[in-house]
Structure 1
Amino acid sequence: MHLFYQPGVDSVGSVAFLREDDSRHAIKTLRLGIGDKIDVTDGHGNRYLAVITSADARRCQFRIMDTQTTPPRPFSVRICVAPTKNLDRIEWFVEKAVEVGIERISFFFGQHSERRVLKLERLEKIAVAAMKQSLQSYLPQLDEAVPFSELIKTVDEEQRFIAHLPSMDLPDDNSPVNLAKVATPTGQYVVLIGPEGDFAEKEIQQAIAAGFQMVTLGTNRLRTETAALTACQLLNFLNV
């Protein structure tokens, strides 16, 4: 069965149209025609069984035959990450994080960020494609990039973590603990991942004052996008 994304779909028996890119993919690439069945999601947990009623490559029409709703996961993962200088790397993270499972991705500019501009349009398309490819019914929320101090104000998750490799001269009893050892199951998580130049000391102190716990993701120094995906995976594995 082929899964397509169409927000704002209505009830059983109603007629709707696929977006132009999905219409082209359905008719030109997959060679679907009138009478063929497809699955459609609105990205909010609703999944619709539909049948194609007009095989137009620019505006494919379908009629909804049945619907079902997938309940949200009993936990949520939010990763807040500074955009990388090489945009391909943050695009890779978005794609893989959506495939693994994530509810929200927030971007921020830190004191040491090398990239100061981020447009969400392409990232949103990547997220939609990854949702469809992994056959999910929820499209994660992607937030516009804001300064670090503004990002902190948007956090309402209970389990808050900031990933940071400790200084080598810290005593063992003051060293951050691995994320996998401190996060607890079925939580509402948020993890801060810094830019290539890491967090500034002032930003670390701001996060701690806002209730964030400093954690590590292992003993290796990871690239920004690798650290972000690792944190996402750890929290998903914790809730298997």
Structure 2
Amino acid sequence: AADINMCKAAIISTQKRHPKMFRLHLAVAPTKSAERYEWFLEKATEIGVHEITPILCDHSERKILKMERLQKVVQSAMKQSLRTYLPKINNPVSYTEFIAQDHKELLFIAHCEDEEKLDLKRCVAADKDVTILIGPEGDFSHKEIKEAYKKGFLPISLGEARLRTETAAIVACTAVALINR
């Protein structure tokens, strides 16, 4: 007798898709609202992020994330947008731990302090790996900004308006994706 819970499938054709020549890593502080962070993950996956690391900063209000839930959000967005590669979501790490890692890519930090900043669109080149730090509500602390500079991160502007954490992350993701189209 046939089992109604069984299904047979056959692969009738395959198509090899080559990954893009660049990698975008967004290190984004968790937002107070879990829904806003999930929204960011969904949209960044659709646009084309490769890796995401939640970073716990001096001003972070949320320190605990439901990683299983975030993984499901990314998987769903990947399927919906017909992407062939699943972005990697790392476990949350402290800001200090993250910037202490050995980074070989182009490094940027988006913050709100009033100083000279580079325009992200003019700093990113096609086919270059990029890591961008996006801070929490309340921004990075002055100490964190100085630490980033010592590690080679450059300050970037994402436009005139002051953006929410998740919006800043999407603007940064979109800028890099468009340059690499």
Letter in 1 for 2:174: Q
Q: CA deviation at 1:229?
A: 0.6
Gapped regions of structure 1 (runs ≥ 5) = 1-53
Aligned amino acid, residue 9 of structure 2: F
CA shift digits 1:137-181 (9 cap, x unpaired): 1000001111101111335242100001232xx4xxxx1021111
**Which moves more between the two structures, 155-164 or 215-224?**
155-164
Letter in 2 for 1:66: S
CA contact (8 A) 1:157 1:190 kept: no
Identify the residue that residue 191 of structure 1 maps to in structure 2.
Answer: 132
Alignment partner of 1:237 is 2:155: no
* Deviation at residue 237 of structure 1 after TM alignment: 0.9
Question: Please, what TM-score do these two structures have when normalized by structure 1?
Answer: 0.71
Tell me the residue number matched to 2:117.
176
Please say which of residues 90-99 and 146-155 is displaced more in the overlay: 146-155
Quick one: distance in 2 between partners of 1:139 and 1:55? Answer: 31
The equivalent residue for 2:27 is 80
* Among candidates 142, 154, 157, match of residue 213 of structure 1: 154
Give the match for residue 158 of structure 1. Answer: 105
TM-score by length of 2: 0.93
* CA deviation profile, 1:78-99 (whole Å, cap 9, x unmatched): 1100000100000000000000
Q: 1:223 to 1:60 in 2, by over 3 A?
A: farther
Distance 1:201 1:166 in 2: 8
Q: How does 1:25-36 map to 2 (within 5 A)?
A: none
Contact (CA 8 Å) 1:102, 1:232: kept in 2 or not?
yes
Q: Return the offset for 1:224.
A: 0.2
Larger proportion of strand = 1
The answer on whether the counterparts of 1:112 and 1:200 sit within 8 Å (CA) in structure 2 is yes
What secondary structure does 1:62 align onto? coil
Q: 1:219 to 1:143 in 2, by over 3 A?
A: same
3-state SS of paired residue (2:132): strand
**Among the aligned pairs, what percent are the same residue?**
42
Q: How do 1:126-145 and structure 2 match up within 5 A?
A: 126-145=73-92
Q: Does 1:149 align with 2:96?
A: yes
Corresponding residue of 2:51? 104
User: In 1, Cα distance between the equivalents of 2:85 and 2:4?
Assistant: 26
Residue 60 of structure 1 and its aligned partner are, at CA, apart by: 4.1
C-alpha separation between the residues in 2 aligned to 1:209 and 1:161?
Answer: 12
Higher radius of gyration, 1 or 2: 1
Q: State the Cα distance separating 1:66 from its structure 2 match.
A: 2.9
How many residue pairs get aligned? The number is 179
1:227 partner letter? A
Q: Is the 8 A contact 2:56 2:92 kept in 1?
A: yes
> Structure 1 residues 142 and 55, CA, compared in 2 at 3 Å: closer, same or farther?
farther
Higher relative contact order (CA 8 A, sep 6+): 2
- Divergent runs of 4+, >3 A: none
Residue identity matched to 2:54: F
Letter of the 2:180 counterpart: N
CA RMSD across the alignment: 1.5
